[in-house]
Amino acid sequence: MFSTAGGTTSIIIFASMVFAPFAGNLVDRVGRRATLMIIGSLVMIPSYLLMGFTHIQPAFPMIILGAAFVLVPAAMWPSVPLIVDPKRVGTAFGLMTMIQNIGLALFPYMNGKLRDVTHGYGASMVMFASLGIVGLVFAILLKIADRKEGGVLEYPGEKKIEPEAA
């Protein structure tokens, strides 16, 4: 299956499918949500660059990307109720989904344009590695902000919600 072009491109999705329950369990057990987002972002950068600028088989970097692609969301999405006012959680999820869908619409288009201009994959891999760098910067900023607010993202379990005054 993984010896064809279609099979090779499915490696990332297959790896994500396999790693997803483990990533979720890891987040539940250890917390460290901001740290795991940093790790996931860090792992993406060399994986894309390996695929763009070496002649190694893409399976290994694609498996690593699959792990990163589940590690970041497994840490990010459950963080929302921990740091957002309970009255705004739905809005926060809506905004996150909107931003994700903008990226899902925009970056394949940009990738195609880069491929049309460069006739290669290098520029596309640099673009995607750069997104890993952007993710890394935001994950570090999140960790710094979380530390200032008490570090709720770094601990396992749930935020203790205090009852509102009547």
What 74-78 contacts at long range (C-beta under 8 Å, 24+ apart), as own/partner pairs, is 74/20, 74/23, 74/24, 74/26, 74/27, 74/36, 75/23, 75/27, 75/32, 75/33, 75/34, 75/36, 75/37, 75/40, 76/33, 76/37, 78/27, 78/33
* pLDDT tens, position by position, 124-142: 999 999 999 999 999 999 9
Q: At residue 68, does pLDDT exceed 70?
A: yes
* pLDDT tens, position by position, 81-136: 999 999 999 999 999 999 999 999 999 999 999 999 999 999 999 999 999 999 99
At 166, is the pLDDT very low, low, confident or very high (cuts 50, 70, 90)?
A: very low
Predicted pLDDT of residue 6: 81
Domain boundaries, the chain: 5-154
Predicted pLDDT of residue 164: 55
Q: At residue 161, does pLDDT exceed 60?
A: no
Poorest-pLDDT segment among 22-31, 132-141, 149-158: 149-158
Q: Is 17 helix (H, G, I), strand (E, B) or coil?
A: helix
Regarding the domain with residue range 5-154, which homologous superfamily does it belong to in the CATH classification? MFS general substrate transporter like domains (1.20.1250.20)
Kindly report the backbone phi and psi dihedral angles of residue 40, in degrees, each rounded to the nearest multiple of 5, phi listed first.
Answer: -60, -45
d(CA 68, CA 139): 13
